[in-house]
Amino acid sequence: MKLKVIRINSGDDSTSGVLFDITDPDNKKFLAYTIEDEKRKEKVMHETRVPAGEYPVVLRKEGGYHNKYSKRFSDFHIGMLHIIDIPNFEYILIHCGNTDEDTSGCLLVGDSQENNQIKTDGFIGASTQAYRRIYPKIAQALKDGEEVTIKYVDYA
C-alpha cells in the first residue's frame, strides 16, 4: 500500500494537508485531511513536521498511545500506525487529534479542515471518524505482510 500526504498550506504553527491512497496510480483515493506541526529549518522537539520524503509504516504494539488506543478502539486496534526511518525523528504515528497542540511531529487525520492561515493553530474536525474509517484498511495491509509506505510532498 502506498500513502501520500500532500502538504497544501504551511502556517506559523501548523501544516495542513491531504492524505491519499495512491496504491493504484489510476485510481487514487482521498483518505483524510491532515494536520502536522509547522515547517522549520532546525528541528525543535514536539514542534516540527517531518521532512518531505518517503518512509515505511509499521505497526507499533507498545507505548502509551498503543495502550490508550487498545482500549479506545478495542473493536479493531492491532497496533499504532508508526512511521519509521525518519532522520532525527522517533515515534511518529498516525492518530486522532484536532490541532498542532495534539501532535509532536505525528500526522493527525480528520474529515474536515479549517484554513491555518485564519486560525493560527489550524484545525481538523471529525478526527475519530476519519481514523475509524482509514485505520482498518492500512492495519490489515500490514497484518497481511504488505509493505506500506507514506510519502510526504511539500506544496507549501
- Tell me the percentage of the chain whose pLDDT exceeds 90: 78
| Residue 118 pLDDT grade (very low, low, confident, very high; cuts 50, 70, 90) | low
Residue with the bigger pLDDT between 16 and 115: it is 16
Residue 40 sits at the vertex; the CA angle it makes with 99 and 125, to the nearest 5 degrees, is 15
CA distance 92 to 99: 16
- Beta carbons within 10 angstroms of residue 150's beta carbon: 22
Please measure the distance between the N-terminal and C-terminal CA atoms of the chain and give it in whole angstroms.
25
The helix (H) or strand (E) run that includes residue 121 is none
Question: Position of cell 492495519?
Answer: 139
| Residue 13 pLDDT grade (very low, low, confident, very high; cuts 50, 70, 90) | confident
The predicted-structure confidence for 54-85, as pLDDT tens digits, reads as follows 999 999 999 999 999 999 999 999 999 999 99
Contact 100, 109 (CB under 8 A): no
Contacts with 116 (C-beta within 8 Å, 6 or more apart), sequence order: 9, 10, 11, 13, 14, 15, 16, 35, 122, 123
Mean of all residue pLDDT scores within the chain: 93
The predicted-structure confidence for 20-39, as pLDDT tens digits, reads as follows 999 999 999 999 999 999 99
CA distance 133 to 120: 27
Judge whether residue 119 has pLDDT over 60.
Answer: no
Contact 3, 22 (CB under 8 A): yes
Phi-psi region of 118 (alpha: psi -120 to 50; beta: other; left: phi over 0): alpha
